[in-house]
Structure 1
Amino acid sequence: MQDNRNTAFGWILFAGIIALGSSYLSSKVFHADSPESPEQPGYFIDAPEEGAGAESGPTIAQALAAGSAEAGEKVFAKCTACHTINQGGAAGIGPNLYGIMGKPIGKHAAGFAYSSALAEKGGVWDYDAMNEWLKSPRGFAAGTKMSFAGLGSIEDRANVTLYMLANGGGPPLPEPEVEEAAVEGEIDGAGEGPGPAEGAEASAVEAAGAMGDEQPVVDQSPVTEADGSQ
């Protein structure tokens, strides 16, 4: 019995030595103790350049031109938990928004305790500023007390801006940009195109030779009367 135990312990010890040796050899062969990056990676993943894939769509000027205050009134329903917009309306969690368009940022409602982030922002509530504010209040003024996440749709932002414009007025709407596309094969209008060709005037023979086969050629020979006179 004792011999069997010794034999078993011997095999266990031998297996441990083999395992330890294998671990040592593999670390030397595969550099397990100091991993290194391969000289050439297996493949590269093409990533878009910075700025690529930017949001495409209408500009705020184009969205304002296509929007309506009526649609904006429905969007403004999301704001009524914190704001009023009627003239002389009381402030709530946020200030009254009557006549806010075109007014200084963070100073529109007298007596309202704006956050320093908004009060020190500077500028006025023009259409670009309002668009950025409605898109992401915290992105526009980091540290603002406004907890609203923002409106992801530029159409919603334009419509609610038009609704605020209808309640108290503001600056004129920006002119939407018009892209002029060149038309291939466009025909020159009257008076356009290249002028007369330079060089000497073509003779009657040259002009006749330039005409097509089906075009008649004027007979340049003298006319002979019946009595033989020319």
Structure 2
Amino acid sequence: MIKKILSATCLTLLPVVASAESHAMAGDAEAGEKVFRKCKACHQVGPDAKNRVGPILNGIVGRTPASVEGFDYSDVLQGLADEGKTWTPEELAAFLEKPRDYAKGTKMAFAGLRKEDDRNDVIAYLATFSEASE
């Protein structure tokens, strides 16, 4: 009897936990636009975006690492692509926190975004740019 109650309680709480996790990852795209100012020295987004020191970030969310044509990626980012990685919001958040720890050997000189909210916000902002924005 107790097992049935506990099992039913756990099943009832699963959607709440999943919702809390997705809410925690959800960011504010408008706030992310402001955070992205730190990235603009090297990256561009939008219809007229071009590769600079860093690649175009249109369509980054859900994309394979090291996949923008015409950009010379570091071996470590190319290795992530070869491993079959995808830039999910979670992977992007880990990378943006400390790029050089996430991808040892990356050419990206940026120290990272310490605040989780900043990372989530900039990812939400980047998600507003599809590859069709190129």
Give the TM-score taking structure 2 as reference length. 0.76
Q: Give the Cα–Cα distance (whole angstroms) in 2 for the partners of residues 139 and 62 of structure 1.
A: 26
Deviations 1:60-92 (A, max 9, x none): 733333x31000000000000000011341111
Give a deviation string over 1:13-55, Cα, whole Å, max 9, x none.
xxxxxxxxxxxxxxxxxxxxxxxxxxxxxxxxxxxxxxxxxxx
User: Which runs of 5 or more residues in structure 1 are unaligned?
Assistant: 1-58, 170-230
Q: How many residues align?
A: 109
Residues 83 and 95 of structure 1 are in contact (CA less than 8 Å); yes or no, is this contact kept in structure 2?
yes
107, 115, 127: which one pairs with 1:153?
115
Per the TM alignment, residue 148 of structure 1 is displaced from its structure 2 partner at its CA by 0.3
- Give the RMSD, CA atoms, in angstroms: 1.6
| Structure of larger gyration radius | 1
More helix by share: 2
Q: Distance in 2 between matches of 1:82 and 1:63?
A: 28
Name which of 47, 53, 65 aligns with 1:93.
53
Task: Name the counterpart of 1:82.
Answer: 42
1:73 aligned to 30, 33, 43, which one? 33
Name 1:133's counterpart in structure 2: 95
The structure whose RCO (Cα within 8 Å, separation 6+) is larger is 2
Rounded to whole Å, the distance in 1 between the matches of 2:28 and 2:125 is 7
Distance in 2, Cα, partners of 1:60 & 1:110: 34
Q: Paired residue for 2:71? A: 112
After TM superposition, give the deviation of residue 168 of structure 1 in Å: 1.2
**Distance in 2 between the 1:139 and 1:60 partners?**
24
| Aligned AA (1:118) | L
Give the letter for the 2:76 counterpart.
Answer: A
* Contact 1:102–1:126 (CA under 8 A) maintained in structure 2: yes
Aligned residue identity for 2:32 = G
Q: Which structure 2 segments of 5+ residues have no match? A: 1-19
* TM-score, normalised by the number of residues in structure 1: 0.45
Q: 4+ residue stretches of structure 1 with deviation over 2 A?
A: 59-65
Counterpart check, 1:61 vs 2:22: yes
* SS at structure 1 position matched to 2:125: helix
**C-alpha distance in 2 between matches for 1:61 and 1:93:** 32
The amino acid of 1:153's aligned partner reads K
- Cα distance in 2 for partners of 1:97, 1:60 equals 25
